[in-house]
A and B are shown apart, each in its own frame.
Chain A
Amino acid sequence: MKLNSIRFKISILYIVLLGIILVIYSTFLYLSLHYTLYGELDDELRIKAQEIASTIDSYADALDRNQQSFNFAVKRAITLEGEYPDKDKIIDLEHQWLQKIDKFDLKEDYINFLNVKGNLLVKSNNLQGALPSLTLKEMAKLREGEAVFKSIKFEKRNLRIISVPFPYGDNEQYIIQIATSLKPVIHLLKIRLMHIAISIPIVLLLASFLGRLFASRILRPVLEITKTASKITYEDLSARVKAENVDEEMKYLVEAFNDMISRLEQSFKYIADFSSQVAHDLKTPLAIIRGESDVALRKKRSPEEYKRVIKVNLEEAGRMLRVIDDLLLLTKLDYRPEFFKFEQLDMIEFLWEISEQSKILAAPKEIIVNTNLPEGKMVINADRLHLRRLFFNLIDNAIKFTLREGKIDIDAKRENNKVIVSISDTGIGIAEEDMPKIFDKFFHIDRINSHAETGTGLGLSIAQSIAKIHQGIIQAKSTLGKGSVFTVTLPLV
């Protein structure tokens, strides 16, 4: 597994995240156990303290509640020692108390009975010394009537101590302390910690394994795409990635990929068609040259006949050269826009110039050129040379397809931030079924018309590409038999 592969990154991320979550969760589990165990232990201690307090009270009550009986009660309850006459009065209490000691396991606990100042009065027999004395804070809390808990290490044992205020009589205050072993609690917590420590690495290991599996599954479409992509060559664009059984997000990738291939396939088909078209349109003039020359050389011909053949050959050769030049221009227009020099140009002045030259071109057919331009300036960013080419292509077409003594109008107007130029003619018009094709490369509108085949068929295609380079568009409208209007829209500066 490579270090910078997606699979590796996903796995690492996944494991780290999972690790963090596990640690947080385990901490929570541990802490909650800690809280519960200590809480229960503390509750237990409260109950025990309560029992001792009530036992002392009961003893004292049974024996007339004087100082002597009080002392006896305390000693008896805590150490089970002490003599007192009239044992009959307390026999039941003794019995009960012994049972309670058993029930609460009080024998194992250390018990201290302190006076209000915190001095030890009575301690249980299992205690050698006194329990650690109370701090000022703890004394303050006790004075307010609250129980105080603390965990200590005493004589090598971990203990939990409760200190509880014990009010006696009208205004006597004592303190009962019970210390119980924390060993079971600590033991449980240790086990829990051990479990956590062992299980987290195991889970992470398992997760990393699963993570790798997941990553593989998710990345499978990517692998499929790679395999399919390598099957695709310019010859065979038919391969596609299957989109079934693929996750939602990957579906987009797969579909986008398949779409791209389809579009490429279309582009290649277009290029193949185009190349075929080019070959055809260059071979036809060659066929004519061949034909004429072959025929001419078969027999002895007159000088005029030879001259005619040579002329035809020159014409066709010229036509082929123009086709090739036009194609090169189209390539530059479509793929290398940096080839053009843009400068600021006033459309009005420019169109007046075009109009003057159009009149000269139209004169032989006695076609009238009307020009209708607004006042002022309309400035655009343009490559002058190529913009001239655009408009002369349109004018040439207008002249070519308009009969003698027809009319051509050149109009311009401003609309929003664009200039709209229309070239209209009263010519033969374009059939409706041809309209979508007129901007196609090599589209000749009249193969049947006798001498109109001097064009390369690329004029409108070139005009459209020039318009596009200038961020503009050309549109055409026509009525068969009445005429056509070509509209050029260009953005103003």
Chain B
Amino acid sequence: MKKILIVEDDQKIREIYAKFLISEEYSVIEASNAVDAYEILKKENIDLVLLDIKMPEINGSIMYEVLRLFHRDIKVIVSSVYPLYEQKEIISGAFDYHDKSQGIDVLLGKINNALGDG
């Protein structure tokens, strides 16, 4: 079963995504900030990171750089309320981008796409 790490500071959103992805047969770990996420990355075998941009203290773009340097093989889908073109400006080179207001279905499609080829 593929493991997904959700890095998102807004608790309600995190819970919705977690519940949903679990119901879609993914294994889910939650982190509310970049520091916790990094600790988890060290211990667990993560396949995909769902990364929020706007977080307190260390924001998503810094987290992304860390992922690129030390966990190159992990796929990253940036998930934020910023419009897609802006997300691409802030973090360039991620596997995919998701505008949270587009809804769950769209997100699922992108995740399936990322993890489907296995």
Residues of A within 8 A of B (CB): 279-280, 283-284, 286-288, 290-295, 298, 312, 447-448, 450, 453
Contacts and interface: CB of A to CB of B under 8 A. Distances in A.
Contact of B9 (A288, A291, A292, A447): A447
A279 B20 CA distance: 25
Contact of A453 (B12, B19, B101): B12
25 contacts: A279-B82, A280-B54, A280-B82, A283-B100, A283-B101, A287-B100, A287-B101, A288-B10, A288-B13, A290-B102, A291-B16, A291-B104, A292-B16, A293-B103, A294-B20, A294-B104, A294-B105, A295-B16, A298-B104, A312-B12, A447-B11, A447-B32, A448-B9, A448-B32, A453-B10
B-side interface size class? 20 to 34
Contacts of B12: 288, 312, 453
Contacts of A292: 16
A286 B102 CA distance: 9
What are the 7 tightest A-B residue pairs by CB atom distance, in nearest-first order?
A287-B100, A294-B104, A283-B81, A291-B16, A290-B103, A294-B103, A295-B20
B9 A287 contact: no
Interface residues of chain B: helix, strand, loop or mixed (majority): helix
Contacts of A280: 54, 81-82
Nearest to A445: B56
A290 B102 CA distance: 7
Nearest to B53: A280
A283 B20 CA distance: 20
A292 B56 CA distance: 24
Contact of A288 (B16, B20, B105): B16
B17 A291 contact: yes
Interface in B64-88: 81-82
B16 A447 contact: no
Among B19, B32, B101: residue with most chain A CB under 10 A: B101
Given A287-B100, A447-B56, A448-B9, A295 B81 contact: no
Contacts of B82: 279-280
Contacts of A312: 12
A312 to B, nearest CB: 8
Contacts of A448: 9, 11, 32
B104 A284 contact: no
A435 to B, nearest CB: 15
A284 B100 contact: yes
B77 to A, nearest CB: 15
B11 A450 contact: yes
A194 B19 CA distance: 108
A295 B100 contact: no
Interface in B33-58: 54, 56
A284 B13 CA distance: 8
Nearest to B98: A287
